[in-house]
Structure 1
Amino acid sequence: MARWRINLIVLWFGNFLVMGGMTMIVPFLPLYIQEMGIHDPKQVATWAGVIFAGNFVTSFLFQPIWGGLADRYGRKVMLLRSGFGMAIVMTLMGLAFTPWHLFLLRMLNGVISGFVPAAVALMSASTPKDRMGVAMGTLQSGGVAGSILGPLFGGVLAEWIGFRPIFYITGGLLFVASLLAAFLVKDTFDAARAQKQPSKSILSSFKELSQIKQLPSLYSVTFVIQFAILSSMPLIPLFVQELHGSGELLAFYAGLVGSVTGFSNMIASPLLGRLGDKLGSQRVLAISLIGAALAFIPQAMVHNIWQLFASRFLLGVFMGGLLPSVQTLIRKFTPDGMESRSYSFNSSALSLGNMMGPVIGGAVSGWIGIRGIFIVASVLLILNALWVRRSLYGGQRSSPGDRKALS
């Protein structure tokens, strides 16, 4: 088997476990807080929100630091640092006895995180250029699958074995995934060459990369994707209740609507990544941005659960073409030797979208409702598409297929 394929299989498994571990606490987090002695509903809700968001706050701040070190000392080193570190922190979460313990551990987890951007940077360096799209799409499907199945596994295991053992199991699996990466993943990183390059600060690296007009617009796609999806996500159960009523199977339908976007995303990502290898990543990105923008509009007009289900499924299909195309194009426009830093800034944009989406969506929903949020998301994606179209036109280092797509 080709070396890049072995890397892809191992890193897919790692991405699945990392994202699954991040999201599997969602179903039982409030219950875990109650087990720690907090019973006031408002305090439980506040702690749950703060604890869940803590990981994204520190991740946003520290990703560029790890990206810079990866470009200097190697992507695999950063991959293993993050994998083994998160395995330890995840295990310690099972030993937390107060919400403060859990909050600080989630913050620490965000500090040492970086497995996913390191995996993306490593794959971008080891994959043949004509297979980049399918590799990025397949790698993303691992993270998406973990995000989808993490809450499901977390809920099932919480009923079966209790809360604390889940963290021990997850930590053990992350440790195994990191061991597999240590022995099976091969990096093409040239340490001697990297050491000869002058050291750059985070700020100077960002200034240098931001001068390449294509990169800020690509980072904006990642931010807008997460912002658009998560701005309405906390309100989906209430919207389902509005459409379905308070009858039986309400929780089931809410979960179904919430996860269907991820399922279609997981299916579409490798397919659209392969299409990007043939037609050009810029073309797939443009079509996916417009398609996702249009897919938000029917959600504002639905009258029953199944209409919402169908439109959310369609949204996931177009979302599946966004991040793989962004990741492929980031590598295309990033100068050699700065790949990890470039991907780390993209990861920070993702974390920022994860933080701001639910906060702003919840704040404005009282004025415009969830239907209005869907329309706002559509408008943001259309504006983002126009910016991306303008910035990528005639960009340097584009492939013949991508130049053809822009003409």
Structure 2
Amino acid sequence: MHRTHWKRNLYILMVCQFFVMAAMTMIIPFLPLYLQELGVTDPQSVSMWAGIIFGINFLSAFLFSPLWGRMADQHGRKLMLLRSGFGMAIVLTLTGFAVGPWSLLFLRFLNGMISGFIPAAIALMSMSTPKNHVGYSLGMLQAGAVAGGICGPLLGGMMADLMGYRMIFYVTGLTILVAAFVVLLFVKENFEKKEEKVKTNTLKDFKKITSTSPILALFIVFFIVQCALIGVNPLLSLFVQELSPGQNIAFYAGLAMSVMGFANMSASPFLGRLSDRKGHHIVLLSALCFVSVIMLPQAFVQNYWQLILFRFLLGLGLGGLLPSINSLIRHLAPEGMESRTFGFSNSFMYLGTMIGPIVGGWLASVAGIRSLFIASALLLFVNVFIVWFRVVPAMKRRAVKKGAVS
């Protein structure tokens, strides 16, 4: 693919990511209600099944992400986009035909297993974009995904009231199918397959990739970020209820999540471009310091609008985190193993997404909801030290070495 085509790919994939993420998040508002429709009526059973079904998607994604990374390196990133797009379109459509909680559980596991549209898009764009524009490119992709994540639950809730729960799965399947066809017809990739001299397996791949400093540190940073942020989200509505008793809790909780998303979406392209100029590790460290400081005061807010202000500021800082991490991974990945590196990175992300809500729920039950913000701030501060002592020195050494060679 000609380098001049990377911007066209970027804008197409940005729009596709918006629709895919919107489709994937449409079901979040009514998943427990869909379980009731499938015959699970006991409130405790509904909560248990909803938690398991929500988590099983990330468990299978965690397990299979390295496999898809290996296949992307061997057969191309566009093929992985198509595999995920067409696969999820089929599985989500079939989810509308679920007959009970066990069939829903199986389909959610299957969806996680074949998912990976957004990670595949990140891998494709990171490989096809000139290195001095990777931060901007991945920032734009994140903006598209975050925008979809904001709109999806809102649209899903509205459409569920109008057409019923099962119809939403057909709509989401069709939406992702259209996105997959757009990728098939309009996204270009000039993939050159490289024969591996030595046959490897997943463990050998992981050892080789993490032998390049500071990739393992970045994987750990990614995991901790997801734990710290996702652990708060499921219980945010209860915190909003504590701050604004007797009001429209669902609306205010949605607003608290959406305002963070809007800030994230707005800041991502700017911070991505800034990281291209100043250094991805510099923006990553600065963003982590900022979100660590902003997370802590949320434990002590006394009214809802104070929470909204801090959630907005938190979103601004988050706009510099994931694009910087992914940009660094792109620059550090061993040649010919770029997608496998992203695959392992995604596994750490999914693991954090799975563990965060579990630990967060336990902590809130023991020490109260406000303790979540304190714990999240402490985790993010740990990340600051990891980046300061592991990532920044490694990147400085690489810069010195590169300068000496040139």
Please say if 1:216 is aligned against 2:216.
Answer: yes
The alignment partner of 1:199 has SS state of coil
Deviation, structure 1 residue 62: 0.2
Deviation, structure 1 residue 274: 0.9
Q: Which of 165, 168, 172 is the matching residue for 1:166? A: 168
Please say if 1:313 is aligned against 2:312.
Answer: yes
Q: Judging changes above 3 Å, is the alpha-carbon distance between structure 1 residues 262 and 74 closer, same or farther for their aligned structure 2 residues?
A: same
Task: Check the 8 A contact 2:24/2:172 in 1, yes or no.
Answer: no
Q: What amino acid sits opposite 2:137 in the alignment?
A: A
Task: Check the 8 A contact 1:282/1:402 in 2, yes or no.
Answer: no
Q: Judging changes above 3 Å, is the alpha-carbon distance between structure 1 residues 260 and 271 closer, same or farther for their aligned structure 2 residues?
A: same
Q: What amino acid sits opposite 1:281 in the alignment?
A: H
Equivalents in 1 of 2:393, 2:230: separation in Å?
Answer: 33
Alignment deviations for residues 41-93 of structure 1 (CA, whole Å, 9 cap, x no partner)? 11111111111111101000000011011111111111111111111111111
Task: Check the 8 A contact 1:296/1:315 in 2, yes or no.
Answer: yes
Q: How does 1:7-406 map to 2 (within 5 A)?
A: 7-191=9-193, 194-245=194-245, 247-395=246-394
Q: Judging changes above 3 Å, is the alpha-carbon distance between structure 1 residues 253 and 331 closer, same or farther for their aligned structure 2 residues?
A: same
Equivalents in 2 of 1:367, 1:39: separation in Å?
Answer: 27
Q: Judging changes above 3 Å, is the alpha-carbon distance between structure 1 residues 196 and 366 closer, same or farther for their aligned structure 2 residues?
A: closer
Task: Check the 8 A contact 2:363/2:371 in 1, yes or no.
Answer: no
Task: Check the 8 A contact 1:79/1:115 in 2, yes or no.
Answer: yes
Q: Judging changes above 3 Å, is the alpha-carbon distance between structure 1 residues 68 and 282 closer, same or farther for their aligned structure 2 residues?
A: same
Equivalents in 2 of 1:402, 1:355: separation in Å?
Answer: 39
Equivalents in 2 of 1:145, 1:399: separation in Å?
Answer: 35
Q: What amino acid sits opposite 1:241 in the alignment?
A: Q
Q: Report sequence identity in percent.
A: 48
Deviation, structure 1 residue 402: 13
Alignment deviations for residues 16-60 of structure 1 (CA, whole Å, 9 cap, x no partner)? 233223221111111111111221111111111111111101000
Task: Check the 8 A contact 1:217/1:391 in 2, yes or no.
Answer: yes
Q: Judging changes above 3 Å, is the alpha-carbon distance between structure 1 residues 354 and 196 closer, same or farther for their aligned structure 2 residues?
A: closer
Q: Judging changes above 3 Å, is the alpha-carbon distance between structure 1 residues 392 and 252 closer, same or farther for their aligned structure 2 residues?
A: same
Q: Judging changes above 3 Å, is the alpha-carbon distance between structure 1 residues 129 and 291 closer, same or farther for their aligned structure 2 residues?
A: same
Equivalents in 2 of 1:175, 1:370: separation in Å?
Answer: 40
Task: Check the 8 A contact 2:21/2:149 in 1, yes or no.
Answer: yes
Q: What amino acid sits opposite 1:147 in the alignment?
A: G
Equivalents in 2 of 1:339, 1:398: separation in Å?
Answer: 21
Equivalents in 2 of 1:228, 1:330: separation in Å?
Answer: 21
Alignment deviations for residues 238-292 of structure 1 (CA, whole Å, 9 cap, x no partner)? 11111112x2322221221122212211111111101111111111101000001
Task: Check the 8 A contact 1:244/1:304 in 2, yes or no.
Answer: yes
Task: Check the 8 A contact 1:20/1:148 in 2, yes or no.
Answer: yes
5+ residue gaps, structure 2, are none
Deviation, structure 1 residue 396: 5.8
The alignment partner of 2:368 has SS state of helix
The alignment partner of 2:226 has SS state of helix
Q: What amino acid sits opposite 1:312 in the alignment?
A: R
Q: What amino acid sits opposite 1:316 in the alignment?
A: G
Deviation, structure 1 residue 367: 2.7
Alignment deviations for residues 313-366 of structure 1 (CA, whole Å, 9 cap, x no partner)? 111110110000001000111111111011111111111111111100110112
Alignment deviations for residues 372-400 of structure 1 (CA, whole Å, 9 cap, x no partner)? 22111111111111112222234369886
Alignment deviations for residues 131-189 of structure 1 (CA, whole Å, 9 cap, x no partner)? 11110001111221222211111101101111111111111111111111111111132
Moved more, 388-397 or 142-151: 388-397
| Paired residues, number | 401
The alignment partner of 2:231 has SS state of helix
Q: What amino acid sits opposite 1:360 in the alignment?
A: V
Q: What amino acid sits opposite 2:113 in the alignment?
A: V
Task: Check the 8 A contact 1:74/1:189 in 2, yes or no.
Answer: yes
Equivalents in 2 of 1:400, 1:217: separation in Å?
Answer: 18
The alignment partner of 1:186 has SS state of coil
Deviation, structure 1 residue 403: 9.7
Deviation, structure 1 residue 401: 11
5+ residue gaps, structure 1, are none
